Structure 1
Amino acid sequence: MKTITMADVAQHAGVSKSTVSQYVNQRYDYMGEKTKERVEKAIAELGYSPNIIARSLKQKSTTTIGVIVANILHVFSTQVIRAIEDFCNEANFHIIVCNADDDPIKEKKYMDMLRAKQVDGIIVFPTGGNLALYQQLVQDNYPIVFVDRMVPEVEVNTVLLDNEKAVRMGVDLLVEKGYQRIGMVTPPLEESVTPRLERVSGFKQALKANNQNFDPNLLVSEEIENIRIKLDELLQQPQRPDAILAVNDRVLFEILHYIKEKKLSIPDDLGVIGIDDVTFASFYSPSLTTIAQPAFEMGKKTAELLLNRIQNKTQEKETKIYRFEPLLMQRDSC
């Protein structure tokens, strides 16, 4: 079959080729309604499809961005991605989502792939393991925004929760409720994973502010698959915790599974607060007190920063850390 061109549409509609081009690129400022209808009808009748690759080359833009998430299993990550997609869709941009599994090698492969596909910019939940690559992107004036994690050596706009405040809200509530021995459970404390480090730091500060001593025996830092084993050890101690803060949603899942297995009662046997407002928190029995991240607002801000950077095409004079406020969702688990 003959490929339908823009010239064919123009001839069929009785308009100029430039008018068809303006219609395809949604530039309607000086186009009458009847002209728009004729072009639209011609496109439908001929089955014309714009050559996206040719248009990208001409405009020097693919209207596509990449999003590399550290671990897509987190509820927070999927909510941020959804907000990014919503914002980009409104701006007629597309997104390609990649999951790095917290693996710097995989992250680098995705970065190389996305740049080979000539995406206009990249949003990254950085693993922290590709410092030279991040710095090269900045040096090349390539649009990039970090979310959820900081890389202090790289001058990039970064969107984060106020992690220390989130933990402080949880500790304050537990102390107010009369809990005396508050524990925390987290995946391994890695330098590159900003939320874990900041939340543990905030935990220690919040205990001190509430005149409670930090007991290292009540802090569990372990791989997700081993958390239930460590919880068993934690709760077998003579001075066991009477409440636990879960650093993120995946840790909370493990704590809830453990409590069900051991037939413990929340909050009678153990008070529980999770950071990340999981979707089932309000109808779990008992309903779960959580510290919510404003994930959709954070995702929107991240996309806005990147698209502004792409469309302005200028090197930023100053990069910023954008901190978002956590929200206490007080329910029945403590």
Structure 2
Amino acid sequence: MKKITIADVAKHANISKSTVSQYLNNRFDYMGEKTKERIAQSIRELDYKPNIVARSLKQKTTFTIGVIVANMLHVFSTQVLRAIEDVCHAQDYHVIVCNSDDDPKKEKKYIEMLHAKQVDGLIVFPTGENKELYEGMVNEQFPLLFMDRFVEGLNIDSFLIENEKAAKIAVDHFVSKGYENIAILTKELLKNVTPRVERVQGYKKALKAHGIEVAEKFIIGEEVEHIQEKLKEVFSLPTPPRAIIAGNDLVLIQILQFAKENEMNIPEDLGIIGIDEVSFASIYSPPLTTISYPSYEMGKDAAELLLKKIRKEENSMSSEIHRYQPELIERRSC
């Protein structure tokens, strides 16, 4: 079958090729409704499919961005991705999503692959261990943004919540409810991942502000697969925690599982606050108190900024850290 071209569509609609091209690129400023309807009808009748490769070569852009998330299982990641996809879809950009599992080698492989595919820009939840690679992209003025984390010494726009404040809100709420022996549980701290480190810092500062001594035994950093055994160890202490802050949604699930298996009543035996609003928080029994933040807004803002950088509407060398405010959603788990 003969491949249908823009020229065929123009001839069928009895208008110029340039007008069809403007239509396909969503440039409708001087185009009447009847002209648009004729083009759309011709495209349908001829079953015209735009040549994406030819379009990319002509305009020197692939209309594609890459997103490398640290862990696809996090609620935060899916909400951010949804926002990025919504923004890109509205502006005719495609999104390639990769999951690094917080593995620097995997992250490096994906960055190199996406670069080879000539994506127009990247949004990365960085492991922080590919600094030389990030620096190379900065030096070539490649549009690059960080999400949820930043890397010291790099001039790259980064989108994060006020992590210290999130932990402070949780500690303040527990103290106001009369809880003592407040613990915080997050994923492994050795990797120096921004949210984990900042939330622990906020937890420590908040306790000190209340005149409460910081007990290192109540600061728990562990990978998800080992959390159950770590919780068993901590709750076997002569003075176990009476309240616990879950550093993220996956950690929260582990805490709830431990409490259920050990027949602990919430909030009588253990008060719980989760940093991350989860879909089941309001229907769990008892409903869970959480710290929420605008994940969708963060993804939307990041995608819009990246597209502006790609179009050179914004300085590709800007390096602002964009912070978003957390909010307590009080329910009945403490």
- Asked if TM exceeds 0.5, the reply is yes
RMSD of aligned alpha carbons:
1.3
User: Do structure 1's residue 148 and structure 2's residue 148 form an aligned pair?
Assistant: yes
Counterpart of 1:167 in structure 2 is 167
CA contact (8 A) 1:76 1:293 kept: no
Counterpart of 1:270 in structure 2 is 270
**Mapped partners of 1:227, 1:32: distance in 2:** 62
Residue identity opposite 1:253 in structure 2: I
Counterpart of 1:30 in structure 2 is 30
Matching of residues 10-29 of structure 1 within 5 Å: 10-29=10-29
Q: How far 1:304 moved relative to its partner?
A: 1.7
Q: How far 1:146 moved relative to its partner?
A: 0.2
Q: State how many pairs are aligned.
A: 334
Q: How far 1:180 moved relative to its partner?
A: 1.4
TM-score for both structures, normalised by structure 2: 0.97
Q: How far 1:42 moved relative to its partner?
A: 1.5
SS in 2 for 1:211: coil
Residue identity opposite 1:83 in structure 2: A
Counterpart of 1:288 in structure 2 is 288
**Mapped partners of 1:286, 1:249: distance in 2:** 17
- Evaluate the alpha carbon distance shift between residue 219 and residue 20 of structure 1 in structure 2; reply closer, same or farther with a 3 A threshold: same
CA contact (8 A) 1:188 1:222 kept: yes
**Mapped partners of 2:101, 2:16: distance in 1:** 51
User: Do structure 1's residue 130 and structure 2's residue 133 form an aligned pair?
Assistant: no
Instruction: Name which of structure 1's ranges 311-320 and 243-252 shifts more when overlaid on structure 2.
Output: 311-320
CA contact (8 A) 2:125 2:148 kept: yes
**Mapped partners of 1:159, 1:199: distance in 2:** 16
User: Do structure 1's residue 226 and structure 2's residue 264 form an aligned pair?
Assistant: no
Counterpart of 1:212 in structure 2 is 212
Q: How far 1:30 moved relative to its partner?
A: 2.2
SS in 2 for 1:312: coil
Counterpart of 2:181 in structure 1 is 181
**Mapped partners of 2:215, 2:94: distance in 1:** 48
Q: How far 1:256 moved relative to its partner?
A: 0.3
Counterpart of 2:259 in structure 1 is 259
**Mapped partners of 1:67, 1:88: distance in 2:** 12
Identity of aligned residues (%): 57
Q: Which ranges in structure 2 are unaligned for 5 or more consecutive residues?
A: none
Counterpart of 1:109 in structure 2 is 109
* CA offset digits 1:139-193 (Å, max 9, x no partner): 0000000010110121100000100000000000000000111011111113441
SS in 1 for 2:12: helix
CA contact (8 A) 2:274 2:290 kept: yes
Residue identity opposite 1:207 in structure 2: L
SS in 2 for 1:26: coil
Residue identity opposite 2:10 in structure 1: A
Instruction: Name which of structure 1's ranges 219-228 and 257-266 shifts more when overlaid on structure 2.
Output: 219-228
CA contact (8 A) 1:150 1:192 kept: no
SS in 1 for 2:174: helix
Residue identity opposite 1:226 in structure 2: H
**Mapped partners of 1:213, 1:171: distance in 2:** 13
**Mapped partners of 1:72, 1:99: distance in 2:** 6
Residue identity opposite 1:176 in structure 2: S
- Evaluate the alpha carbon distance shift between residue 51 and residue 317 of structure 1 in structure 2; reply closer, same or farther with a 3 A threshold: closer
**Mapped partners of 2:317, 2:24: distance in 1:** 35
Q: How far 1:15 moved relative to its partner?
A: 1.4
Q: How far 1:222 moved relative to its partner?
A: 1.4
Q: How far 1:316 moved relative to its partner?
A: 4.1
**Mapped partners of 2:37, 2:77: distance in 1:** 42
TM-score for both structures, normalised by structure 1: 0.97
**Mapped partners of 2:215, 2:25: distance in 1:** 62
